[in-house]
Amino acid sequence: MKKSRNVFLAILLSGAFAAAAAETEKAPDAAELRELSVKLLDKLSGSLVDVEYFFRPDENGKRPEFTVQYYCPGCRSMHSGSADSLIEDQRPFKVPGYAVAPDEFISSDIGALPEWIESLDLVFGGKRYPAKVVAYYPAQKSVLLKTASPVPGVVPLAFNPKAEGKRFGFSRSEESGVEHAFTAPWAPATVVRNLGNGETYVKTAANVLVVNEKGEVAALSMNDRLDVGTAPAEAVPSAWKQVSAAEHGRKLAEFKAMLEKNLYPVRIRLKPQKPLTGFAAHYQRRSENRNEADGIAIRMKDGKVLIAASLSPAETARLSRIVLTVDGKEIPARFVGSLQFFGALVAEPEQPLPGGGIAFYRGDAGKLSGASVYDAQLKSFGDKLELRVFPQKLESFDVGFRGMIVPAGRLLRQGYVFTENGELVSLPLERRKLDRDYASTEAVAASMVLALAGNFDPANVPQEGEEKIAWLGIEFQQLGPELARANKAAEFTEDGKNGLLVTYVYPDSPAARLGIKTGDILLSVTPDGSAAPVKFEGYQFGSEMDQFPWDRYDQVPPQYYDQIPAPWGTTRNALNRLLGGIGIGGKAKLAVVSDGRIHEYPFTVTAAPESFETAEKFNDSKLGMSVCDLTYEVRNYFQLKPEDTGVLVAKVKAGGRAAVAGIKPYEIVTTVDGEPVKNLESFRKLVEGRSELRIGVRRLAVTRIVTIAAPVGPVASAAPAEEE
């Protein structure tokens, strides 16, 4: 399809690209600007080219996860394109170019790495001319392109900084197959002062030619800022500081090599835990049940490493080993502490690491406005680290957590930003949030990391021994509209959408000590240091406790026993997992509706007593079953009295003697050969060495005697029951 050249657009822009006509001089109207746009386009068309970048996957067939972009002065926004989508659509990314010689052209630096470029062409007069980048202009965010031979018909721009007459900003671009010309009075008058570093500059338009009414070119403005007092002669390409492509590549390679000596992939191993089942598993994040986590380690100047890896306190409690991969070798590291608020920890390697370490920039990132930086995009794959480094300029900033200043822009927010001398300015970390489904990665200033590294989170540490589960010590159920209104709590709970109705409070539990009672409604929890309460949204806190098939239990074949969830639900329910996100020993406030009023209870998260999931299991392989002591939630479910004793059948092996005799999981063994079973140890002694057993078994309120023929021989010692 032939390119259309019959649509032109003249836009009167504000600010640096705005009309600022003198009071005594009439500003041109829209009609005059349209006429001037046509005149300038015709006069300058011989100096304007299209630059087209085609991208390719890497040697492994992976497409670059990178967005290329340049600033369009016409629409005053960034034109961008995903390299992945451009490859998929088999189309180029286009930017305008300006001829400065028959075989040399200046264009925006779109930030693409050379290894990603399949081809780079100039398009002029309907023909394509292969080109290559031969130099960079860092301050102007531009590149110098060169063709193998002069391009026929091209008219190099003749710059005349002293050109007289009114000045206009002129630019041309192509959008959706239509060519647009933009013309507006050139009067850069917006002065900007950076209060962080005192820098003062004039805000102007980027990617425009500065021309007079005759079409004489006074300057080429590729950046959106000019130093105050810039002489006209300094705004032409011949006065720009140039870095050759070879020198640019050498500096980039040296910087990347320095990073490779000081950045390492990390694998964090966690102690395994029993997978959740049923409703609890449905609302469980995948990461909550992982046994490994990947991370990125930064060697600090003191020899320790900062590891970017988001572990919840419950996961950190299960931390068993930290392993760095350095030059292909595994180096263990010792946990030192977890950062507060963000997903990172500090560890100390067991042996010295190569590299001199990375210095952290201690100042306000806003003071680096206008500075050239390196943006490192990193990904960890167990023992491999993928590293890409892009030269960038810091031009805009965001105000982040607690007022910290961090680089703005999609790439810079997701990357590790370094000054040219190698100081870390910011890095991407996940903010710790109890509601982790909505957690997101954000740029964090290196200065804040240093401050937090001196005051670690005491509740986010590895735990020794068996798994510890946070708890409040209640049973609960969802509200819903009817229960909310019946309990006069509709106004506090969004008509039952939020809130948990307390149905039971365990004696001497944290809830009991706070004064929480049956019928109260839990609204939210707010960890210390957080200003945002986390609401208990009812749909995430469902229960399957009433769905156990006791009335059909005898119909369940033994091969399906392991698939039946415990009738009392899991201690690692949604509420306790949420509290685990605060960490054992962490402090928080609980909002509770009681007697028609909201009360706030400060509390410290504590570990639950031994539960069915954490209790020691005695596995008798000859009987084909395992048992454990009666834990607090089991006793509550079966409504046992304090004097009631026995052990719980935790698992029954299909085809084993216990299964053949009719014993099923979650029944209670009360006697062996007429002798009462007091606990796990007494059961072990009672069954040891006996050839035939008469076992008293209780299911709910019904007790029966089961006879098991057991072979004579040593009984297996206490051991964890086999898990699926």
Which tens digit of pLDDT belongs to each residue from 610-626? 999 888 999 998 899 99
C-beta of residue 307 within 8 angstroms of C-beta of residue 345: yes
Query: How far is 689 from 712, CA to CA, in rounded Å?
Result: 6
pLDDT in tens, 266-314: 999 998 876 554 444 544 554 557 889 999 999 999 999 999 998 888 8
Task: Say if residue 590 is in the same domain as residue 630.
Answer: no
Task: Say if residue 595 is in the same domain as residue 639.
Answer: no
| Residue whose tokens read 């839990």 | 522
Nearest to 106, CA basis, from 231, 227, 242 = 242
- The count of structural domains within the chain is 4
Contacts of residue 485, defined as CB under 8 A and 6 or more positions apart, other chains included, come to: 495, 496
Task: Say if residue 507 is in the same domain as residue 579.
Answer: yes
Q: What torsion do the CA atoms of 362, 363, 365, 366 make, to the nearest 10 degrees?
A: 180
List, for the chain, all residue ranges whose pLDDT scores fall below the cut of 50: 1-25, 277-280, 282-283, 286, 437-438, 544, 712-724
The residue out of 607, 631, 653 marking a domain boundary is 607
CATH code, domain carrying 677: 2.30.42.10
Q: Is residue 463 part of a domain?
A: no
C-beta of residue 701 within 8 angstroms of C-beta of residue 670: no
Q: Is residue 7 part of a domain?
A: no
Burial 137-176 (b: 16+ CB within 10 A, else e): bbebbbbbbbbeeebeebebbebeeebeebbbbbbbbbee
Query: How far is 230 from 182, CA to CA, in rounded Å?
Result: 24
The residue out of 551, 583, 607 marking a domain boundary is 607
Query: How far is 170 from 168, CA to CA, in rounded Å?
Result: 6
> How many whole angstroms from its chain centre is CA 548?
38
The CA distances from residue 418 to 301, 376, 421, in Å, are 15, 8, 8
Task: Say if residue 259 is in the same domain as residue 225.
Answer: no
Query: How far is 125 from 49, CA to CA, in rounded Å?
Result: 9
Domain span at 285: 254-453
The CA distances from residue 14 to 189, 202, 222, in Å, are 10, 14, 18
Task: Say if residue 630 is in the same domain as residue 583.
Answer: no
Question: What pLDDT sits at residue 6?
Answer: 29
Task: Say if residue 488 is in the same domain as residue 536.
Answer: yes
Question: What pLDDT sits at residue 7?
Answer: 30
Task: Say if residue 58 is in the same domain as residue 173.
Answer: yes
Q: Is residue 571 part of a domain?
A: yes
Q: Is residue 715 part of a domain?
A: no
Q: Is residue 248 part of a domain?
A: no
DSSP character string of 420-438: TTS-EEEEEEEBP-SSGGG
The residue out of 607, 632, 657 marking a domain boundary is 607
Query: How far is 501 from 549, CA to CA, in rounded Å?
Result: 25
Query: Which pTM does this prediction carry?
Result: 0.80
Q: Is residue 722 part of a domain?
A: no
Task: Say if residue 442 is in the same domain as residue 516.
Answer: no
Question: What pLDDT sits at residue 613?
Answer: 85
Task: Say if residue 594 is in the same domain as residue 627.
Answer: no
The 3-state DSSP class for residue 584 equals: coil
CATH code, domain carrying 422: 2.40.10.120
Question: What pLDDT sits at residue 49?
Answer: 93
Task: Say if residue 263 is in the same domain as residue 404.
Answer: yes
Task: Say if residue 623 is in the same domain as residue 701.
Answer: yes
pLDDT in tens, 26-69: 556 778 878 887 888 888 889 999 999 999 987 777 777 778 88
Q: Is residue 218 part of a domain?
A: yes
Task: Say if residue 635 is in the same domain as residue 512.
Answer: no
The 3-state DSSP class for residue 411 equals: helix
| Residue whose tokens read 């798994």 | 467
Query: How far is 34 from 242, CA to CA, in rounded Å?
Result: 36
Q: Is residue 2 part of a domain?
A: no
